Structure 1
Amino acid sequence: MSLSSPVRRHYAFFSFPGIGHVRPTLPIVHELVARGHRVTYFVADRLAHLVAGSGAEVVEYFSEFPEPVGEVRTVDETARMLIDLMREGLAPLHGALEAFAEQPPDLIVHDDNSTHTARLLAHRWNLPLVRLYPHFYTIDEPAGDPQTEQPDDGEVTAASLGAHAGLIAAGERMFADLAALGYDRETALSVLRCEDAASNLSFAPRFLQPGADEDLPDRFLCIGPSPDPVPEGSWEPPAGRAAILVSLGTSAKTSPEFFRRCALALAAEDRQVVLTVGGRVDPAEVGELPDGVEVHQWLPHALVLPHASAYVGSAGLNSFNSALRWHVPLVSVPLTLEQEATASRVDELGLGVRLDFDDVTPESVRQAVSTITSDPAYAERMRRMSETIDAENAASRAADEIEFQTPVAVR
């Protein structure tokens, strides 16, 4: 039941420069606008086109955040990533201050990885925050971007990072910039370290969350995914062929060899195999392909999945949610900690099977796909889970929560 009221409120959204971070927020924006609210959406310039038809007032900012994300293992690599996150977190700040110079918004909604500007503005104007997780979250320590997981070689420590000259210099530049806006160092540190969101909303379905059977505090809600926006363009397999989608995401670091092995494993007369290789692989590097296999840098998965019988992918949350929407079972090949968690739950719940990346061979891929396509129970379980998600109406629940957290004084 909607908690909306005749009062028109103004919400500010701050996103993170990744398709998987922006797209899940758009149904919420649509819902808020449909309820008569005003939404101002701050988005990296290269992704502004995604928000253009949402009904929000779009404010672009220049983003230098790397795409695709590089390795994060050594002290230097970790420091580089922290500097990138710091710079990105503050990139919308000046534009937001200008946009809201006459009247601040009523509440701020922000991505889990876009906290800097949101917290600083919330402190300045005494506004509540609603935090969105495009992935899993934990209660004690909010999850970071799965692509920036902590190094595991034992070389990186708080002390080594604290002594890193580049990180120190970047911090000093940040404090100098914030001082010019009226934030002294102590206040800025306090605000940026404060975990003060009034509500935390995860796009991971409740059944997929680690610890799914445990109770969550009221301020943590698993709203799950909303249906994918209808993409532009069209795609259909040749008559009589079922599609199999193979993808490791838009920016996964991988090798053309993975896609070659999948192509060799899955090519068949009754199949159309679609490889989307992302930003780190040139399609030409995949080499000569068998008949019935096509390769793209990128193709909207929502065009392919309605025709697919299986999805071989890295088990990113957005990829899983898309497959769930179309009842397509998965062969999960996780590359990050978050994807490991998703792949494990997919396997436990009988929604697909898991392969370790190092174990991917034509034979192992062929067997895994045969397992999930020859047994209709896999697709049936996906269908039942999808119906559960649809019934929960994620965008409406999120809009209800945002309205509920809006201060009574402005209602």
Structure 2
Amino acid sequence: MDPTHRPTSHIAFFNIPAHGHVNPTLGTVAELVRRGHRVSYAAPAEFGPQVRAAGATLVPYETTLPASDRVEDWPSDDPVAMSRLALDEAIAILPGQLRAFDGDRPDLVLHDFGALTGRLLAHRWRVPVICLASTHVSAAGPEERRARQEMFEEHFADDPRWAEYRRRFREFLDDAGIALSIDDYTGLPERCLVPMPREFQIDGDAVDGRYAFVGPCLGQRGHQGEWRAPVDDRPVLLVALGSAGSGQPGFYREVVAAFTGTPWHVVLATGTLDPALLGPLPPNVEQHRSVPQLAVLERASAFITHGGMGSVLEAMHHGVPMVAVPQVNDQHLNAERLVELGLGRHVPLDKATAARLRDAVSFVASDSGVAARTAAIAQRMRRLGGAVTAADLIEFVLHGPREHWQDHVARLEGGLGRGDAGHAVNGTTVG
């Protein structure tokens, strides 16, 4: 397709209220807008600044979910309660989203895996749909998926909440005329963009062609403000546990103790943590509620991270080795994957003493093998294309033969070549 004569379209994004899900999509939004497409973005009003900065029109909705930075309000150890939260959100916001797009229906829908209304709305509007993964996708085939579901059903057979959840979800789909099973609707997209290299995906070689590994879709984030790098050549260490990890004053005190008086210039992003809890900081440590993470990573020599997928991919893109201190959800999987690929170390939160953190950072920042592997996977990720490749695939679905998506994705990966970063395994868990 001649890029100077692309037909333009109205594209709608549907996402959940979490910075770790919204931020990774903004580069793709900006690239679509640059190409002349009109983008509407359904998210709560708090995400307006970054959505508008990327060039999209915010379509706000009132979320029923707990605040993303309040880990204690999320029943993460109760999968039934978590499933019910997601369904309750979808049922509550669906009428407003239908009204918001009444008379201005999009030509294509993109939706986060957790945004349960996206696929339903695309079905109602009879437009193509693409799922956006925010973490690892499932490599399970039909038999394995069926066996897992049977095991899940058996495990929760005596829980009346589970039966009620399934009944309400089936009603949600039936009302929209969707015959898919609940499990296929939530876990088996028609096509999906995955913002990582296949090498980082768990069992990546087994994931089929409905999933396109495009790499991180980064873009400008002027809404995050600026950061002034040190004027000398001191190595920069970024420390950030994400929006949900700010309630860890003890951890940050260990970090300060670990690097006081060292050559490291330490940048702490501590979220809502009261700065007074850390006391006076040494001259080589600066504390912020949040930082423009991409700008800091451009200068960083190491990164202590919670292991959220967005942060991990941003660091990999910049070739920055990591020390992962995971807390919830996929962070533990990402920490293990970093170790397996020799891209960093894993320090459990309950063992994150000053000495262990200092040793882990020293290792990842000085080991030649880690340096070689981080450089290799950074090069691979940049070749994948990120937002440009994602936009190309979106336009292919808009204007190409939709039934040939998997063939197109296979040709794309073949043209880019398969990286070898996944074959270098030399990591160590600090336990």
Give TM-score scaled by structure 2 length: 0.79
Pairing 1:357-372 to 2, within 5 Å after superposition: 357-372=349-364
Instruction: Decide whether aligned partners of structure 1 residues 2 and 290 sit closer, same or farther in structure 2, where only a CA change above 3 A counts.
Output: farther
Maintained 8 Å contact 1:12/1:41: yes
Once the two structures are TM-superposed, the CA of residue 88 in structure 1 deviates from its matched residue by 2.8
Cα distance in 2 for partners of 1:65, 1:32 equals: 29
Once the two structures are TM-superposed, the CA of residue 25 in structure 1 deviates from its matched residue by 0.9
Tell me the residue number matched to 2:220: 229
Cα distance in 1 for partners of 2:37, 2:6 equals: 9
Tell me the residue number matched to 1:242: 235
1:93 paired to 2:91:
no
Instruction: Decide whether aligned partners of structure 1 residues 4 and 401 sit closer, same or farther in structure 2, where only a CA change above 3 A counts.
Output: farther
Cα distance in 2 for partners of 1:169, 1:136 equals: 25
Instruction: Decide whether aligned partners of structure 1 residues 44 and 161 sit closer, same or farther in structure 2, where only a CA change above 3 A counts.
Output: farther
- Identity over aligned pairs, percent: 32
Cα distance in 1 for partners of 2:133, 2:141 equals: 13
Maintained 8 Å contact 1:247/1:313: yes
Instruction: Decide whether aligned partners of structure 1 residues 291 and 37 sit closer, same or farther in structure 2, where only a CA change above 3 A counts.
Output: closer
Instruction: Decide whether aligned partners of structure 1 residues 91 and 139 sit closer, same or farther in structure 2, where only a CA change above 3 A counts.
Output: farther
Tell me the residue number matched to 1:149: none
Tell which deviates more after alignment, 18-27 or 239-248: 239-248
Once the two structures are TM-superposed, the CA of residue 184 in structure 1 deviates from its matched residue by 5.8
Match of 2:75 among 72, 86, 92: 72
Tell which deviates more after alignment, 247-256 or 7-16: 247-256
Tell me the residue number matched to 1:218: 209
SS of the equivalent of 1:331 reads: strand
Tell me the residue number matched to 2:156: 158
Match of 1:397 among 389, 394, 414: 389
Maintained 8 Å contact 1:313/1:332: yes
Maintained 8 Å contact 1:227/1:325: no
Pairing 1:300-319 to 2, within 5 Å after superposition: 300-319=292-311
Tell me the residue number matched to 2:429: none
Once the two structures are TM-superposed, the CA of residue 409 in structure 1 deviates from its matched residue by 9.7
SS of the equivalent of 1:21 reads: helix
Maintained 8 Å contact 1:240/1:270: no
Once the two structures are TM-superposed, the CA of residue 374 in structure 1 deviates from its matched residue by 2.4
Once the two structures are TM-superposed, the CA of residue 265 in structure 1 deviates from its matched residue by 0.9
Instruction: Decide whether aligned partners of structure 1 residues 4 and 62 sit closer, same or farther in structure 2, where only a CA change above 3 A counts.
Output: farther
SS of the equivalent of 1:61 reads: coil
Cα distance in 2 for partners of 1:133, 1:5 equals: 30
Instruction: Name the amino acid aligned to 1:66.
Output: P
Maintained 8 Å contact 1:108/1:127: yes
Tell me the residue number matched to 2:416: none
Q: What do residues 290-342 of structure 1 show as CA deviations (whole Å, max 9, x unaligned)?
A: 44222222222223222322111122111112212332211112223422222
Tell me the residue number matched to 1:41: 41
1:262 paired to 2:265:
no
1:201 paired to 2:201:
no
Pairing 1:110-125 to 2, within 5 Å after superposition: 110-115=111-116, 117-125=117-125
Maintained 8 Å contact 2:317/2:378: yes
Pairing 1:111-150 to 2, within 5 Å after superposition: 111-115=112-116, 117-140=117-140
Maintained 8 Å contact 1:238/1:272: no
Maintained 8 Å contact 1:329/1:372: yes
Once the two structures are TM-superposed, the CA of residue 133 in structure 1 deviates from its matched residue by 0.6
Maintained 8 Å contact 1:228/1:302: no
Which one has a larger percent helix, Structure 1 or Structure 2?
Answer: 2
Maintained 8 Å contact 2:131/2:191: yes
Tell me the residue number matched to 2:409: none
Maintained 8 Å contact 2:217/2:386: yes
Instruction: Name the amino acid aligned to 1:351.
Output: L
Q: What do residues 199-226 of structure 1 show as CA deviations (whole Å, max 9, x unaligned)?
A: 11111221111113x2432211111103
Maintained 8 Å contact 1:277/1:295: yes
Give TM-score scaled by structure 1 length: 0.82
Cα distance in 2 for partners of 1:304, 1:59 equals: 31
Instruction: Decide whether aligned partners of structure 1 residues 208 and 216 sit closer, same or farther in structure 2, where only a CA change above 3 A counts.
Output: same
Instruction: Name the amino acid aligned to 1:104.
Output: R
Cα distance in 1 for partners of 2:9, 2:309 equals: 31
1:341 paired to 2:333:
yes
Instruction: Name the amino acid aligned to 1:315.
Output: G
Instruction: Decide whether aligned partners of structure 1 residues 312 and 294 sit closer, same or farther in structure 2, where only a CA change above 3 A counts.
Output: same
Cα distance in 1 for partners of 2:61, 2:373 equals: 42
Gaps of 5+ in 1: 143-153
Cα distance in 1 for partners of 2:2, 2:249 equals: 48
Once the two structures are TM-superposed, the CA of residue 287 in structure 1 deviates from its matched residue by 3.5
Q: CA RMSD in A?
A: 3.3
Once the two structures are TM-superposed, the CA of residue 381 in structure 1 deviates from its matched residue by 2.7
Gaps of 5+ in 2: 143-151, 403-431
Once the two structures are TM-superposed, the CA of residue 397 in structure 1 deviates from its matched residue by 1.7
Instruction: Name the amino acid aligned to 1:248.
Output: L
SS of the equivalent of 2:131 reads: strand
Once the two structures are TM-superposed, the CA of residue 228 in structure 1 deviates from its matched residue by 4.3
Instruction: Name the amino acid aligned to 1:6.
Output: R
Instruction: Name the amino acid aligned to 2:203.
Output: G
